[in-house]
Chain A
Amino acid sequence: MLLGRQSSDSVKDVALPVPKEVSIAAGEHVLMVLGRSYISFVSLATVGLVVLWVVIAALNFYLPSELVWVLLPLNVFCFLLLPPLLYGLGYVYVKGHRYIITNERIVMFRKFVGILLRTVTHDKITDLIVNQGPIGRLCNYGRVSPITAGMIMPMGAVIFSISGVRSPYEVRDSIAQLVKAMEPKEQ
């Protein structure tokens, strides 16, 4: 029952290392190891920052001059400290993502402060959903959500999915082929 650690001959097309927390079973082959692209986080963080800056700028404009001393630390934090903090932490957050596709299952792994891991076998996948935002369409990244009977929409699509991967349609096609291969043969 104990699963062996990943051996080098079980890896077919791997660019990124498999995290040490994930074990590959005997007879299981790693087909792809994907990471999250940093641009997917940057675009999201930038939109959030711009919205925040607009709110702070409006506060600066509308608040009476006697309350400027209140806004000074807020301005310093939001305009000077927050951007490097957000983009720096975001880099670590993005680097903590690994999506491992094997011939039997998909492992979605996130290590940032805590660890969150989802494993789903191909035969249990009922739907595959791909989402791309406008920046994702320009930069060719997106989210591939494997939906199962246990992980239904919208949870399966938002939290536990293959987020911010390059060429999401190619990833979707690869998974679809594996799902097809796992289907029981028709009589």
Chain B
Amino acid sequence: MVVGEPLPSHVSLLRNEKIIMTLRRRYPSIFTSILSLVGAGFLLGGSSTIRYIAQYAGSFENVAALLYAVIIVVAVFFVVAALIGYFYVHGHLYILTDRRIILSTKFVTISVRDVAYSEITDIIVNQGPIGRILNYGSVIPLSPGVRGVYAIPYPSMRRFSYAKVGLKDVSEPTRIMDELFGLTRLHR
């Protein structure tokens, strides 16, 4: 939460607009995403991989070699995902000014959402079990243009969207929600 950080080129402030706080996405959050991806991959492809390995059950060396290969593939995937995830996470920037919230994501593509405090209808906070332990979570300000379907906590039910509509995986989400509520009160 640093005020005075240089703004990215795709974000500009209005005249007399002041930055109240700048938030960034927490890096540990990417590991939960990677773990869920690995888990989903195991659920989808695990049984066929085990069946494939079982074909070579006669030769212990072959089974061991295949198991090692699977472990190495998973480990390489994890390292690559963590590396890419670092740049992905650092591309997220959320700026709370005295007039609006600017949500910016820069990773391959650029996506920016501006929402004025007066337009916010609901604020949703969503923290997963690991987020509760590490004290991070998502704060989603809804408006008549960006509706509740984006705030559903179950990813399988969420409509796929490139637009980044919430303050994803920020530190102390309940405190950020309180700050947002205070700002919306001022702009009622």
Contacts and interface: CB of A to CB of B under 8 A. Distances in A.
Nearest to B186: A1
A21 B172 CA distance: 10
B126 A159 contact: no
B188 A121 contact: yes
Interface stretch (A47-55, A134-142, A148-156): A148-156
Contacts of B129: 113-114
Interface stretch (B61-69, B73-81, B85-93, B117-125): B117-125
Contacts of A152: 147-148
A114 B147 contact: no
A116 B124 CA distance: 7
B14 interface: no
Max count, chain A CB within 10 A of own CB: residue among B123, B129, B149: B123
Contact of B182 (A3, A148, A151): A3
B46 interface: no
Contacts of B188: 121, 123
B152 A104 contact: no
B148 A117 contact: no
Contacts of B181: 3, 25, 105, 119
A172 interface: no
Nearest to B154: A159
Interface residues of A, number: 29
A22 interface: yes
A120 B180 CA distance: 12
A117 B123 CA distance: 8
B174 interface: yes
A151 B121 CA distance: 8
Contacts of B111: none
Interface stretch (B3-11, B47-55, B99-107, B137-145): B137-145
A23 B181 CA distance: 10
A22 B128 contact: no
Contacts of A151: 121-122, 142, 147-148, 151
B185 interface: yes
Given A105-B181, A150-B120, A160-B151, 18 more contacts: A1-B20, A2-B182, A23-B175, A25-B181, A113-B129, A114-B128, A115-B127, A115-B132, A115-B137, A116-B153, A118-B124, A118-B125, A120-B123, A124-B121, A150-B147, A155-B148, A155-B152, A159-B153
Interface of B: 20, 120-129, 131-132, 137, 142-144, 146-149, 151-153, 174-175, 177-179, 181-185, 188
